[in-house]
Amino acid sequence: MLRNYLKVAFRTLWKNRTHTLINIVGLSVAFGTCVLLFLTATFELSYDSFHTDANRIFRLNFLSTNRDGSPNQGSTMPYPISPALKADFPEIEGVTRWFDRSASVRHNDQTYNKDVRMADADFLHMFTFPLVKGNVKTAMNSLSDIVISENMAKDIFGQEDPIGKPLQLRMNNSWQAFTVTGVIGNAPKNSTLEYDALIRSENAGDYQEFKSRWDHGNHDVYVKVKAGTDPKTLQRRSQAFMDKYFAQEIKDQKEQGYPKNELGFQKSLLLQPMREVHFDTVTTHGSGISRAYVYTLLLIGLFILAIACINFINLTIAQSLSRAREVGVRKSLGAQRGQLFGQIWGETLLLCFGALLIGLSLAYVSLPTFNRLFRSSLTLANFLQPEVLLITGLGFLFITLIAGGYPSWFVTRFNAVEVLKGKVKVSRPGLLRNSLIVTQFTIACLLIVCTVIVRQQISYLQQKPMGLDKEQVISIPVGNELNGKDALKSMRDRLANQPNIASVSGSGVNIGAGLDGSSSRMMFGFQYGKRDVTCDWLRIDTDYLKTMGIKLLQGRDFSTAFSTDSSSSVLITQSMAKALGEANPVGKFIKPDNKEYQIVGVVSDFNLYSLHQEAKPITLQMQSNWPISYILVRVNPQNLTGAMESIKAAWKTIAPKQEFIGSFLDENTERWYRKEQRLATIFSSAAGIAILLSCMGLFSIALVSIQQRTKEIGVRKVLGASVFSIVGLLSKDFLKLVVAAIVIASPIAWYAMDKWLSDFAYKIDIEWWVFALAGVLAIIIALATVSFQSVRAALMNPVKSLRSE
């Protein structure tokens, strides 16, 4: 019996090989695409789930409001909050600070650049990062203790036991001695917290100065509550804690008329679940991964799978007439409906299984390309996980049941007597077929619109004036091993007489995402008269305005001729002057962090960070105790290659052991929008696949439909119908469905993109022509697909057409 079923199945698939090929190609592409997208999405959703007590670990956030009523949420905490929380709340099991920093590590005269994070001793107890060597209770007891990862132990010590071995870390412009007291397991790829080594947070250079200051924050804080503790209750109780330790700040905000936050207080402490930190785009200024992005991957995968399944259902139903006689004969010979259903559904299972194998093969082959395009890190191990294989198997059975179940039921319900008498006709399209075609093209139009709008927004962000000239400027990270001020002086001396070099300066903050992968931000809030002012605090050096192409509007620039410039003078931007309420602020004094500075000049506004968020007022200063982290070199455009070589040669003389990782600022700013670029690539790839699959399905449906109307076409030609009129007749029904899809897709696309654009401080307006373009494109593609078969049918000899039936 089984052998007979397989023989019939293979014969049927071969007889309809055009439709079989379309189904296999469509399902293979859909399966392969879905597997890659679903694995990527599930990897993102798995972040920090490996911690045994992830549901009891929280990151602290402050919640207040700006003067205009907009929420102000941040994760930057002051030093004294950690011990105070542990003392005031017995239900807190552990507290740790977390400094996301890096440092140079030296051992036996060999230097390594490593991610050396600062934390507290509770870190080893709170998180599920197993200590491979050492004692958890004592590994971070001393300020000179360092716990290193397995990878770092292998890089530095090889097969040697690192416990008790000395290491030197360059911190606060000097080398400090540490002793290895533990080896910790490497952080998994789906971990928010990444490290090469851990040292005590008290090693921070400003710890002694700010350890009791509640108005200065520079790190994150994680807490772990005891089992059975209700986080909501703890958060409500924390309000009294806030009123106690932040009383002066709360009083000042009340006096200045600041509105209360959404919880009804001036300032509150929020407990953010550990598994939510990876998806936080608010406190990370847009650098986090939005859950909407992950769900978009899942949705696109489902869309593509749905289109392939729709093609299969439509084709199977459209071919039902050709199988009706077979069903009638089998029923007359005693076949039960369940047996017929099993046979026809078995054909679906056979076809889908072949498509699944091909799809998985395509996914594996395209894995390197996929990882490169979408900056993912999938490997074969991700495919072979038991839960992935189980979900794939269950999903496969569900899809075959949906895609093959209804067509099998539809075919087997024919009455045997009616079929054998030739009275069964399934020549006219039904509501289901039309609905499925509309659904296909709705998805395709939706993806086309999203692709266009995302690319428009990226282009807008990249081309919007930033208030500075980012072209022909090279940024060189100083690194942790060199003193930035000394390195800048040496580079100036070596590049002074180079014809390709226009100017050289330095900064504490890079413009864009440099090749060092590092970013930093310092902000100050202070009172100016009765005004509450918040600004970015930027360390620069002389010639910064010249190097960056920033206009001086009032006063003077920094100069070596004025000794106070490196100690008590500042430049401010226009928006900073506006925040101070001063039309002519030159000569006025500001007092951030209880230190007095005189304003000597006003410069035009410029964007120091990405356009995801609105630019803050900026104060530029030259205090010598603030480090220079980047050397900025403006080069002449005539010989960019020669200029880069000159800079590399100069760098090699001052840092022979340190890699040169300079990059152009225009390239850095493009890297600000990598997430958007990746989303645009996903949308455009998905739109292309959706259109391809939709057209394949439409082509097949048109082929079957025209075959079923062969006699009608012949009669019309005999009666004098032109080729054009016949093509129009055969095409208009399908075009109506495409137009309906455009009408349905447009408001959905507008709503989705409007929500997406709301995450940007600077954004485009959604224009009507985007929807018109998507509609016209869909109509042209559909018309081209259908017309090919329509023209062939219209040109057919009517005599042959009439004989065909």
| Residue range 96-125, pLDDT digits in tens | 999 888 888 888 878 888 889 999 999 999
Residue 49 lies in a domain: no
Residue in 557, 475, 461 with CA at minimum distance from that of residue 757: 461
pLDDT confidence of residue 799? 60
Taking residues 183-205, report their average pLDDT.
Answer: 91
601-628: per-residue pLDDT in tens? 999 998 888 877 777 899 999 987 788 8
Residues 398 and 501 in one domain: no
- Last residue within a domain, chosen from 279, 313, 329: 279
Residues 258 and 323 in one domain: no
Let me know: does 509 contact 619? Beta carbons within 8 Å.
Answer: no
Average pLDDT, the chain: 82
Pairing of strands 597-603, 569-573: parallel
What type of residue sits at position 667? E
17-34 b/e (C-beta count within 10 Å ≥ 16 → b): eebbebbbbbbbbbbbbb
CB-based burial label for 60 (10 Å; 0-12, 13-18, 19+): buried
pLDDT confidence of residue 441? 84
Cα angle, residue 192 at apex, residues 191 and 198 outer, rounded to 5°: 90
Question: Does residue 297 register a pLDDT over 60?
Answer: yes
- Helix ranges (H only) for 266-385 are 291-318, 320-332, 337-365, 367-374, 380-383
The tokens for 492 are 């100036």
Residues 90 and 237 in one domain: yes
Residue 799 lies in a domain: yes
Number of other CB atoms surrounding residue 107 within 10 Å: 16
Residues 622 and 760 in one domain: no
Tell me the three state secondary structure of residue 196: coil
Let me know: does 719 contact 800? Beta carbons within 8 Å.
Answer: no
Residue 644 lies in a domain: yes
Residues 562 and 693 in one domain: no
Residue 552 lies in a domain: yes
Percent of the chain past pLDDT 70, that is, above it, reads 86
CB-based burial label for 386 (10 Å; 0-12, 13-18, 19+): exposed
Dist. CA 410–CA 327, nearest whole Å: 11
Cα angle, residue 351 at apex, residues 347 and 356 outer, rounded to 5°: 145
Residues 684 and 666 in one domain: no
- Per-residue pLDDT band for 167 (boundaries 50, 70, 90) equals very high
- Per-residue pLDDT band for 163 (boundaries 50, 70, 90) equals very high
Taking residues 10-37, report their average pLDDT.
Answer: 76
- Per-residue pLDDT band for 412 (boundaries 50, 70, 90) equals low
pLDDT confidence of residue 335? 61
CA torsion sign for 536, 540, 542, 547 is negative
CB-based burial label for 336 (10 Å; 0-12, 13-18, 19+): exposed
Question: Does residue 741 register a pLDDT over 60?
Answer: yes
- Per-residue pLDDT band for 9 (boundaries 50, 70, 90) equals low
Give the alpha-carbon dihedral of 757, 762, 767, 769, to 10 degrees: -90
The tokens for 328 are 């009638």
Number of other CB atoms surrounding residue 719 within 10 Å: 8
The tokens for 185 are 């397991």
The tokens for 188 are 């998994």
Let me know: does 224 contact 53? Beta carbons within 8 Å.
Answer: yes
What type of residue sits at position 674? R
Dist. CA 65–CA 260, nearest whole Å: 7
Dist. CA 699–CA 785, nearest whole Å: 6
The tokens for 768 are 């009507």
Residue 284 lies in a domain: no
Taking residues 71-96, report their average pLDDT.
Answer: 90
Residues 258 and 368 in one domain: no
**Phi and psi torsions of 116, nearest 5°:** -95, 105
Dist. CA 309–CA 315, nearest whole Å: 10
Pairing of strands 217-225, 57-65: antiparallel
Dist. CA 521–CA 536, nearest whole Å: 7
Let me know: does 491 contact 658? Beta carbons within 8 Å.
Answer: no
- Per-residue pLDDT band for 10 (boundaries 50, 70, 90) equals low
pLDDT confidence of residue 18? 67
Dist. CA 424–CA 426, nearest whole Å: 7
Number of other CB atoms surrounding residue 589 within 10 Å: 12
Dist. CA 755–CA 293, nearest whole Å: 12
The tokens for 158 are 């090889």
Residues 638 and 768 in one domain: no
CA 567, distance to chain mean position in Å, is 41
pLDDT confidence of residue 762? 82
Give the alpha-carbon dihedral of 787, 790, 794, 798, to 10 degrees: 170
The tokens for 431 are 């509501």
Dist. CA 160–CA 558, nearest whole Å: 52
The tokens for 592 are 């951030």
Q: Please provide the DSSP assignment of 228-266 as one string.
A: T--HHHHHHHHHHHHHHHSHHHHHHHHHTTPPP-TTSSS
Number of other CB atoms surrounding residue 667 within 10 Å: 15
Residue 468 lies in a domain: no
- Per-residue pLDDT band for 738 (boundaries 50, 70, 90) equals confident
- How far apart, in Å, do the first and last CA atoms of the chain sit? 34
- Per-residue pLDDT band for 397 (boundaries 50, 70, 90) equals confident
pLDDT confidence of residue 428? 47
Question: Does residue 172 register a pLDDT over 60?
Answer: yes
Dist. CA 86–CA 92, nearest whole Å: 6
The tokens for 65 are 């409001």
- Last residue within a domain, chosen from 626, 651, 671: 671
500-523: per-residue pLDDT in tens? 888 899 998 888 887 777 777 787
pLDDT confidence of residue 256? 76
Q: How many residues in the chain?
A: 805
Residue 609 lies in a domain: yes
pLDDT confidence of residue 519? 72
Dist. CA 102–CA 115, nearest whole Å: 4
Residues 667 and 681 in one domain: no
Overall pTM > 0.85: no
Give the alpha-carbon dihedral of 83, 89, 93, 97, to 10 degrees: -30
- Last residue within a domain, chosen from 671, 695, 728: 671
Dist. CA 276–CA 113, nearest whole Å: 30
Let me know: does 500 contact 639? Beta carbons within 8 Å.
Answer: yes
Taking residues 135-139, report their average pLDDT.
Answer: 89
Residues 145 and 219 in one domain: yes
pLDDT confidence of residue 763? 85
Residue 184 lies in a domain: yes
**Look-up: residue for tokens 């001729």?**
561
Residues 78 and 110 in one domain: yes
CA torsion sign for 132, 135, 137, 140 is negative
Number of other CB atoms surrounding residue 109 within 10 Å: 6
* Cβ-based neighbours of 163, under 8 Å, separated by 6 or more: 133, 134, 180, 181, 182, 183
Residue in 51, 62, 511, 15 with CA at minimum distance from that of residue 268: 62
Eight-class DSSP state of 540:
B
Residue in 22, 24, 29 with CA at minimum distance from that of residue 700: 22
Dist. CA 340–CA 412, nearest whole Å: 6
Percent of the chain past pLDDT 90, that is, above it, reads 21
Taking residues 585-610, report their average pLDDT.
Answer: 88
* Rg, the chain, Cα only: 34
Q: Domain residues for 664?
A: 473-671
pLDDT confidence of residue 554? 92
- Helix ranges (H only) for 16-120 are 17-45, 81-88
Question: Does residue 573 register a pLDDT over 90?
Answer: yes
- β partners of residue 97: 221
CA 133, distance to chain mean position in Å, is 36
**Look-up: residue for tokens 């040169």?**
660
Residues 296 and 404 in one domain: yes
Number of structural domains (the chain) is 3
- Helix ranges (H only) for 413-430 are 416-420
- Per-residue pLDDT band for 427 (boundaries 50, 70, 90) equals very low
pLDDT confidence of residue 451? 85
User: In Å, how far are 517, 640, 656 from 485, measured between CA atoms?
Assistant: 21, 25, 17
The DSSP H or E segment spanning 167 is strand 166-171
Let me know: does 601 contact 557? Beta carbons within 8 Å.
Answer: yes
